[in-house]
Chains A and B, each alone.
Chain A
Amino acid sequence: MGRAIVITSGKGGVGKTTTTANLGTALAQLGHSVVLVDADIGLRNLDVVMGLENRIVFHVVDAIRGKCTVQKALIKDRRLDNLWLLPASQTDDKDAVTPDDMKSLVMELKHSYDFVLIDCPAGIEQGFKNAIAGADEAVVVATPEVSSIRDADRVVGLLAAADVPARLIVNRISPQLVKRGDMLSQADVIEILALELLGGIPLDDQVIATTNKGVPAVLEGKSMAAREFVRIAKLLAGHEVEAKESVGFFTRIGRALGLSASPA
Chain B
Amino acid sequence: MDLSNAVVDEPPAILRGTARGLELIVNGRAPVDAITSAIEARLGEAPAFFRGNDVRIAVDDGPLATGCLGKIDELAARYDLRITEVAAHAAPKPNLAAGSAPSIVEDATAAAIPEPIAPVSAPVAAPPAPPVIVQEVVEQLVGPRLVIGPVRSGVILDHVGHVIVFGDVNPGAEVRATGNIVVLGRLRGTAHAGIGAPMGFILALRLEPQQLRIGRQVARAGDSDTPDHDAEIAYATGEQIVVERYQGRLPKNLAASL
Contacts and interface: CB of A to CB of B under 8 A. Distances in A.
A153 B149 CA distance: 12
Contacts of A150: 153, 171-172
Which secondary structure dominates chain A's binding surface? helix
B168 interface: yes
B165 to A, nearest CB: 11
A256 interface: no
Interface in A163-216: 192, 194
Given A150-B171, A153-B170, A153-B172, A263 B155 contact: no
Contacts of B153: 150-151, 153-154, 157
B172 A264 contact: no
A153 B153 CA distance: 6
Nearest to B155: A157
Interface string B185-208: 000100000000000000000000
A111 B207 CA distance: 50
Give the interface centre of A156, A160, A264 by most chain B CB atoms within 10 Å: A264
Contacts of B11: none
A19 to B, nearest CB: 21
Contacts of B151: 264
Contacts of A151: 153
Interface string B145-159: 000111111110000
A262 interface: yes
B150 A154 contact: no
A160 B150 CA distance: 11
Contacts of A160: 152
B187 to A, nearest CB: 13
A194 B168 contact: yes
Contacts of B155: 157, 264
A239 to B, nearest CB: 30
